[in-house]
Amino acid sequence: MPDWKKEVASRLAGLKVDPVREAEICEELAQHFEDRYQELLRGGATHEEAYQATQAEWGQGGKLMDELRRVEHMVKREPVAWGAQMGRNLIAGLTYDVRNAFRSLVRARWFAVGAALTFALGIGVNVAVFSSVDRTLFRALPYDHPDEIFVMGEYESGTDRTYGTMLASYVIESRHLSGVVDGCVAGFTDPYSTSREPGEETRIRLTDVSFNTLTVFGIRPFMGRDFTKEDAQANRKEALISYDLWRGRFNGAPDIIGRILWASGKPCEIVGVLPADFIPASSILDPMRTSDGLALESDTLESASPGARWYRPILRLKASVSSAAVEAGINSRVEHLKQTEPAPRPGAAKLVIRLVPLRTILFGSYASYLWLIVAAAALVLVVACANLASLLLVRGRSREHQAAVRVALGASASRLMRTAVVESLMLSFVGTLIGLLALVWASKELQVLIPPVFSRYAAPVYDTRVIGFSILAATLSALLAGILPCLRLAKVDVLSALQHVAGRGRAGRLRGGRSLLAAEAAVSVVLVAGAMMTVRSLIGLVSTDVGFKPEGLYFVTVLLPSVQDPQTRYQQYMQVLEVVRDLHGVKQAGAADVLPIRGDTGNRFGPGFGRGAYRWQVTNGFFETTGMRLIAGRTFSSADLARPGSVGILSEMGLHLVWPGLQPAEAVGRMLEFPGEAPRQVIGVVSDVRASYSQTPWPSLYVPVSPERIRFLMFVARAQTGAALSVSELRNSVRERIAAPTSASIRYVPDQFSSGLLDQKFRTLLFSTFGIVALLLAAVGLYAVGSFEVAMRRFEMGLRMSLGATPGNLQLLVIREALGPVVVGVSVGLICTYWAAKFLQSFLYKVDVRDPVLYVFVALVLVATATLAAWLPARRAAKTDPIVALREL
């Protein structure tokens, strides 16, 4: 029997392929011959006949070797016409594109770095903003069917003014409405019951809620159990603590259930832990206040007395009913109730019940502010994309020759476009990665700058939605930046591109680039104007006279155990004042029943006066300690304290309120008369004070403290330079000299002003950054396009010079042409700013958003920046050597 393997091997000698491959071919072919040979034998042929017939399979001599050699040495080549196999192998095509784009970007590494950083900036800003506003603006609240949850409130008809509380009888009525899910009306109290663990300095703040609160929200505790009706009825003290409190203060202890907390001075058992994303229930009134959990309110609606006042209840409506129908139902029942009220409240007739979606209550008041930031961030991205589009356009134009060669070799337009898009995508994704890394790196530093409205509900960078947004933003901006250059590339004129090289008199203008520059300038104007407005607002704010001297001033609060006798109470608090005066480092101290400089509202100015004008009871030394300016007359002496009903001091606005037009000096000595009160002599006029820069001062009347009219006193102390007051010293001294205080605290007054400024500072910083970034990007874009055009028009410049143009003429020519689109853009931008300014107005302090001076200034800044950016290429144009330029022809 023939050895086919040996025969095949001898015939294939000299094939020059990998030995393993050669062995495989040998085996396969030998098997074929073997099969054929065996078949012929089975068909009745003799060995000799079968061998001869099988040998005939070799065909013509050498053919197999030739064919095999051709196949085995075949190199898998990329087809000349790029994209020819696109439909057949998408992944391979893309891999090729990515490789190609990577190589070309490595070659142009400075361009790549600049473009990636621009993307990083534009996308990073937007990702940061998105992660901060996602939960407040876009994401559904973390409750079951959150759209069905509403907050019920009593509003003044036709306005948005509402009261914190409402009658329990109204809440009880709402339970019987058919549109409300059974048992889904939950009540809250606010302010919370605050408490401190014995021996602990930090307070735990719990919101008192009705037992069915989690049922209304449609959530389960993260750990432990929910409150029950039985517990509420049995008046058990129970708490559901927040996830943060559990993780932080209790170090995530697994045995937390059953531990005891102190709430309102009573032991309270922890029955569960709330889910991590539960928005504190105290946030019904203000989502920016923190709550450490919920405490069970023993008052169920069944046991509530109809006359009691409840905080705004939360209710869940059935999916099929509209809130308007339920609202109408409640109002008709409430109308009925009002008629049966024994003593109608003043103004009650004007009050209506409204159901407001939970999201609106939580974040509605912040929405316009948040949208403003979102819009500003989006504009930065638009500028970044426009900038990149112009850079890519310049790059595309300089690579037209290469593109033309590819088209000549058979590449389709779509193939060329795909290459450009892949390049743009690669840049944007690298940029996004840089942006995200920068955000992770800087997140701690950013937290300090960001006001609570952003930081409290900010999602981390690794959140799926944030990553999804980043990918979306990267893709969109890559397409936005890449589309124009792509279209230009698709229209490349092969013949003309192959015939010319850069600088040889081909039309030097960059089509599309100028429109981009105009767009960039327009958006930059809006952002720069926004920056200037916020800066002016901040300067206006911090330079506002607050009417007193906050530096070195402290608020001192001491609460003593309650005493029934007013005289004893007065004496005790006056002793505390002495203690404060004797504290180490205190220079001066004074006291008042309520502090106007803390933003608290006082008692009514006088009989017949409504809200907005107040009367404050102060001790001697109060004005001197706070640093309030005395405008006329004198301040209270200790003798005045002995006759509190007979003297008073007016603030400037207070003077204007009672005697409009009267000079302060003329008011001193006059008698102030209120019905039902003894006449009071005005002994002085002091400056108006504000508790924050943006607050409008209240018309005020200051009177000496009267023992009968105070429940406690609040103190102010001015420290000696460099001294800091000690709260433990305060507590010990009060304990030694009077009684153990129920609470004692010291707060530095300027902190109140800086925390009030946080929002303004952040806004200013944000808009200034946006403005500067936009300005820089616009300048870079202009410079790039200008440089490119100058390079492309070298021949023209040379020709002009040889015909007698001076370098100055050429500079002027380049700058004039560069400024054309900028002027158009600035004009459009100013119109847009004028229109958009009304959205910014409510966030600004004493800034006229339609001030023409501001607009002129913004226009000048833009034009000056553009001139500078155009001047650099213009200088290069002016240095053109006509001989060298013309020789290139």
Binding site for other proteins (CB under 8 A): 24-25, 27-29, 31-33, 35-36, 56-60, 63-64, 67-68, 70-72, 74, 76, 88-89
Looking at the chain, the number of H-run helices and the number of E-run strands are 29, 24
By beta-carbon proximity to other proteins, the closer residue of 29 and 486 is 29
Q: How far is the CB of 103 from other proteins (least distance, A)?
A: 24
Cβ atoms within 10 Å of 808's Cβ, excluding its own: 10
Six token digits for residue 70? 């051709």
Strand extents, DSSP E, 168-245: 180-186, 193-196, 203-209, 223-224, 238-241
Residue closer to other proteins, measured from CB, 77 or 109: 77
Q: How far is the CB of 220 from other proteins (least distance, A)?
A: 48
Question: DSSP H helical segments within 399-412, as ranges?
Answer: 400-408
| Angle (CA) 252 258 262, round 5° | 90
Using an 8 Å Cβ cutoff, are 559 and 741 in contact? Answer: yes
CB of 52 to other proteins, least distance (A): 14
State the number of CA atoms in the 13 A half-sphere of 778 facing the CB: 38
Q: Which is nearer to other proteins, 33 or 698 (CB)?
A: 33
Q: How far is the CB of 5 from other proteins (least distance, A)?
A: 11
CA distances from 687 to 281, 393, 597, 664 (A): 41, 62, 12, 10
**Closer by beta carbon to other proteins, 17 or else 831:** 17
Let me know: does 246 contact 273? Beta carbons within 8 Å: yes
Q: Do you know the residue count of the chain? A: 889
How many angstroms separate the CA atoms of 78 and 92, rounded?
10
As measured in angstroms, the least distance from the Cβ of 23 to other proteins is 12
Minimum distance between the CB of residue 33 and other proteins, rounded to whole angstroms? 7
Q: Which is nearer to other proteins, 88 or 109 (CB)?
A: 88
Nearest partner of 308 among 189, 216, 185, judged by Cα: 189
Min separation Cβ 413 and other proteins, Å: 23
User: Could you tell me the two tokens for 690?
Assistant: 């504000």
In eight-state DSSP terms, residue 716 is E
Q: Which is nearer to other proteins, 58 or 102 (CB)?
A: 58
Identify which of residues 11 and 359 has a Cβ nearer to other proteins in the complex.
Answer: 11
Q: First CA to last CA across the chain, in angstroms?
A: 80
Closest CA to 534 of 363, 364, 376, 697: 376
Q: Nearer Cβ to other proteins, position 34 or 624?
A: 34
Q: Least CB distance from residue 20 to other proteins, whole Å?
A: 12
Residue 72 vs 729, nearer CB to other proteins: 72
Dist. CA 356–CA 437, nearest whole Å? 40
Closest separation in Å from C-beta 32 to other proteins: 5
Nearer to other proteins by Cβ, of 31 and 447: the residue is 31
What is the nearest approach in angstroms of other proteins to the Cβ of residue 35?
4
CB 293 within 8 A of CB 240: yes
Tokens of 299: 């008052």
Least distance CB 51 / other proteins (angstroms): 15
Q: How far is the CB of 429 from other proteins (least distance, A)?
A: 28
E strands in 242-346: 260-263, 266-273, 293-296, 309-311, 314-317
Which is nearer to other proteins, 71 or 234 (by Cβ)? 71
Distance between CA atoms of residues 506 and 101, nearest Å: 27
CB 785 within 8 A of CB 514: yes
Cα–Cα dist 301/278, whole Å = 24
Nearer to other proteins among residue 77 and residue 444 (C-beta): 77
| Least distance from other proteins to the Cβ atom of residue 367, Å | 51
Please list, in sequence order, all residues whose beta carbon lies within 8 angstroms of the beta carbon of residue 240, skipping any fewer than 6 positions away: 214, 221, 224, 226, 227, 270, 271, 272, 273, 274, 293, 294
Cβ closest to other proteins, residue 4 vs residue 698: 4
